[in-house]
Amino acid sequence: MNNSYITAYYYDEEELLEGIRQIKEKGVEILDVMTPFPVHGLDKAIGLRRSRLTRVAFWGGTIGALIGFLFQAWVFTQAYVINFGGKPFFAVPSFMPVTFEMAVLFSAFSMVLAFLIYFKLGPGAKPIIYDERSTDDRFLLIVKAGDADETKNIEKALSQAGAEGIKHKA
């Protein structure tokens, strides 16, 4: 298995997008791109699918709302029935605030946790940092290398596409 890769960087997001278009035409496989901020259109250029986090948020919120609502209903009709001046026990309007807050809480937390777990982000996580400047002002491109000849061609393609600082790592 060939694990070697080539890194190169751009100074500008528009040059990066144009560069990616050019090297993709030449059939170079892009492994990853590290940018200092979200670059619009980059996810499409790389071919990322739509995020499924929205579904996590939806179902998290649904579960939260159900827990909140059913719990209140259970407390006031089963577990601890109190007569508040003859008002109904199953008082749906007054359950709404807590139901809403629970929905928001569960939705937000389930989505953020899913995000962190998916990317293995968390306190003390040790990421591979290819280039420390990629969180500052460089748009770092990581492409798959091949054998010696292919690598040369890829490096040439990269430099034709305007990339700088081309480095090959085995």
Binding of residue 108 to another protein (CB under 8 A): yes
Binding of residue 110 to another protein (CB under 8 A): no
CA distance 154 to 150: 6
Q: Where are the alpha helices (DSSP H) in 75-160?
A: 92-118, 148-160
In residues, how long is the chain?
Answer: 170
Backbone region of residue 162 per phi and psi (left: phi > 0; alpha: psi in -120 to 50; beta: other values): left
With contacts defined by CB under 8 A, name the span among 1-9, 21-29, 104-112, 153-161 that binds another protein: 104-112
With contacts defined by CB under 8 A, name the span among 21-29, 68-76, 144-152, 153-161 that binds another protein: 68-76
In sequence order, the 6+-apart residues with CB closer than 8 A to the CB of 98 are 68, 72
Q: How far is CA 141 from CA 12, 34, 61, 102, in A?
A: 12, 7, 37, 42
Q: Which of 3, 27, 48, 83 binds another protein (CB under 8 A)?
A: 48
Binding of residue 160 to another protein (CB under 8 A): no
- Residues forming contacts to another protein in the complex (CB under 8 A) are 11-13, 15, 32-39, 42-43, 46, 48, 51, 53-54, 57, 61, 71-72, 75-76, 79-80, 82, 84, 87, 91, 94-95, 97-98, 100-102, 104-105, 107-109, 111-112, 115-116, 118-129, 132-137
